[in-house]
């Protein structure tokens, strides 16, 4: 059996895709990799919330699956939006890698004054964290971000620790504990999506990690109930059925946070509804400030 997999052309996306291909090879399934450009890759000089949010990295690959150009695609699961097109399904969720953010800096932490990130969540959490820093917009793939750091445009940049591990990058800096710097929903998780065809879906079942899938689905339930996608500063992290979820103001001065049982999607939805209720003003203020 041979399948065509679609992927973004970034080094990280290819590394993630190669991991899935190696797993499939163990089951006698051959794969051919096809690189596909997305609008998120083409417009790196514009903040994410102004070019369509997290879905901009996924839509082109969804289209390629639906029109039969490829059989499946591999994504960082945090890039997959809540609303999915009919005919495309998440068929496997790999065992989660590190969910944490990592602050990369070559100078001492106390000398960090300018931090680069395009994430409203990371911006708000840093401003809350007590460091006297300026947050500057930074987009581009991992290599581009590191280059800009080395060129002195920033004193530090924020990367997902999982991405660094997948690229075998050993960089100086500070690991940000997910209990305080609560990650984006599904951060550190790789997902496989394919056409909604039973036989094709069954092909990927051996790759699925049940606990990670369960935690990821709880996080997505919270995200869906909060709303706002990647626009509203929100962190949602479930590990072995324990859930931490928070929403923050853009300036990091106000936040609402819930720590509770996250053993089911239903629990996740209830917590998401509660968090949206108590954090309504924060969420709406953020959306208004971002022009949404």
Q: Is 230 a catalytic residue?
A: yes
Pick the catalytic residue from 62, 71, 79, 97.
Answer: 79
What are φ and ψ of residue 2, in 5° steps?
Answer: -130, 135
CB of 97 closer than 8 Å to CB of 188 = yes
Q: Is 145 a catalytic residue?
A: yes
Radius of gyration of the chain (CA): 19
Q: Is 121 a catalytic residue?
A: yes
Pick the catalytic residue from 8, 21, 78, 128.
Answer: 78
Pick the catalytic residue from 8, 96, 121, 214.
Answer: 121
Q: Is 139 a catalytic residue?
A: yes
Q: Which residues contact 148 (CB under 8 A, 6 or more apart)?
A: 116, 138, 140, 154, 157
Pick the catalytic residue from 8, 96, 123, 145.
Answer: 145
- HSE-CB at 17 with a 13 A cutoff on CA atoms is 24
Pick the catalytic residue from 139, 166, 214, 276.
Answer: 139
Q: Is 166 a catalytic residue?
A: no
Pick the catalytic residue from 62, 97, 101, 122.
Answer: 122
Cα 112–chain centre separation: 25
Q: Is 79 a catalytic residue?
A: yes
Rounded alpha-carbon distances, angstroms, from residue 118 to 2, 125, 191, 196, 231: 38, 13, 23, 33, 11
Pick the catalytic residue from 21, 91, 230, 238.
Answer: 230
How many CB atoms are closer than 10 A to CB 201? 17
214 φ/ψ sector (left φ>0, alpha ψ -120 to 50, else beta): alpha
β 242-248/156-160 pair status: unpaired
Q: Is 253 a catalytic residue?
A: no
Q: Taking each helix axis from N to C terminus, what angle separates 11-25 and 142-150, rounded to the nearest 10 degrees?
A: 140
Active site residues: 78-79, 121-122, 139, 145, 230
């Amino acid at each position: 059996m041979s399948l065509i997999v679609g992927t973004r052309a970034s080094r990280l996306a290819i590394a993630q895709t190669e991991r899935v291909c190696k797993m499939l090879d163990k089951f006698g399934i051959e794969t051919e990799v096809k690189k596909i450009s997305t609008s998120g890759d083409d417009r790196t000089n514009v903040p994410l919330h102004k070019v369509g949010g997290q879905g901009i990295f996924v839509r082109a690959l969804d289209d390629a699956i639906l029109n039969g150009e490829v059989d499946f695609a591999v994504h960082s699961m945090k890039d997959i939006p809540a609303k999915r097109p009919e005919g495309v399904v998440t068929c496997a969720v790999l065992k989660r890698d590190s969910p944490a953010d990592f602050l990369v800096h070559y100078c001492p932490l106390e000398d960090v004054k300018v931090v680069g990130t395009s994430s409203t969540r990371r911006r708000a959490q840093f401003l809350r964290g007590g460091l006297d820093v300026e947050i500057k917009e930074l987009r581009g793939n991992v290599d581009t971000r590191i280059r800009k750091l080395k060129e002195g445009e920033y004193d530090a940049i924020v990367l997902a620790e999982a991405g660094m591990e997948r690229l075998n990058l050993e960089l100086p800096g500070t690991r940000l504990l997910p209990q305080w710097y609560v990650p984006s929903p599904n951060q550190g998780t790789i997902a496989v999506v394919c056409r909604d065809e039973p036989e094709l879906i069954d092909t990927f079942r051996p790759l699925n990690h049940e606990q990670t899938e369960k935690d990821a689905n709880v996080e997505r339930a919270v995200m869906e109930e909060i709303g706002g996608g990647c626009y509203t500063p929100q962190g949602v992290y479930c590990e072995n059925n324990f859930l931490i979820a928070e929403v923050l103001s853009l300036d990091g001065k106000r936040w609402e946070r819930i720590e509770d049982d996250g053993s089911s999607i239903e629990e996740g939805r209830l917590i998401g509804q509660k968090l949206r209720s108590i954090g309504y003003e924060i969420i709406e203020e953020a959306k208004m400030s971002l022009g949404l």
